Amino acid sequence: MKALESYSRILITGGTGSFGRRFVKKLLHENLFSGQILIFSRDEYKQYRMRQYFPAERFPQLRFVLGDVRDRDKLMEVFAEGDLLIHAAALKQVDTAEANPMEFIKTNVLGSENVIRAALAQKVRKVIALSSDKAVNPVSLYGGSKLCADKLFLAATEAQTARRTIFSVVRYGNVLGSRGSVVPLFLEKVQLGEQLPLTHPQMTRFSVPVGVESALLLRAIAEGQGGEVFVPKVPSYRITDLARAIAPDLPTKIIGLRPGEKLHEELISAEDRARAQEFAHHFVVYPPAVCKEMISGPPTLTLPSAYVSSQNTHWLSPAQLKAQVQAYTEAEPIF
């Protein structure tokens, strides 16, 4: 794989999470990377399950290290072995964050700062941090913590007198079926024959196909020069259409927005739109210092203002959502 051929080691923080498992599966099963892959995470049981799924006899290049991004000394030790770092470690549950704000700050904000300091000290060549649409104009503690993390990573490039480490961000929306998404909850309610809980009948969300998340990350690895935010072009869906796709005969129940929950999500704010360039399958938001050099004149964008899930030009129909949910339920589980 051209994006990865100059690297000998990939280190993934939070590598036993849903994204890390899918990305590692792609790398190994499609033979995209021949070097060492090091999984750094704090969950020993998930590491055990991941070892079972990727046995050492078949995948000797895969290594596991137990640790937490809150522990900078451990990061310093582990980062000495990596030249490409993908930072996926985060606490993510929106309602849990509202009740436990300091825990999310310790992991998502202070943990990100630890990752940056360790990467700089160990001269890691490139760092790609994974972000969320909830970091754009956040109303939740989780979204605020991811916004802070984004700002830390983007500022880290500019803070270097000599740019030895490149920091870029990849921002995603919802991946159907991933941890914390509504699809597993709806499927559970179907099994129980219960009403499907809807927080608001007008709610919309972005939907990131599984293949898109890996493709955008590989593009960021190949093209990131520091300080950019890579954003995918993805469709939106209405939560009512998702409920109809999963269980057309089950009644729904409006339960109201949860603490910290938004009616619609954003991937690019109106302010960031002025620094964005549009490509065939993605956008790139450039940092102010680089923007003047890379964008001559007003950028040409199809976005009316911000990139908001409710204002998208590409929508998933109930039939398309049903096909995606079916693909999710039939997919081979990665433990």
The Cβ of residue 42 has, within 10 Å, a number of other Cβ atoms equal to: 18
134 is catalytic: yes
Q: Are strands 196-198 and 62-66 parallel, antiparallel or unpaired?
A: unpaired
Tokens 């490039």 correspond to 157
Q: How many CA atoms lie within 13 A of 300 on its CB side?
A: 2
Q: Phi and psi for 153 in degrees, rounded to 5?
A: -65, -40
The string over 290-319, giving b where at least 16 C-beta atoms fall within 10 Å of a residue's C-beta and e elsewhere, is: bbeeeeeeebeeebeebbbbeebeeebebe
C-beta of residue 129 within 8 angstroms of C-beta of residue 87: yes
Among 134, 146, 189, 233, the one annotated catalytic: 134
- Closest-CA residue to 10 (of 25, 29, 24, 30): 24
Torsion on CA atoms 296, 298, 304, 308, rounded to nearest 10: 50
Which are the catalytic amino acids?
134
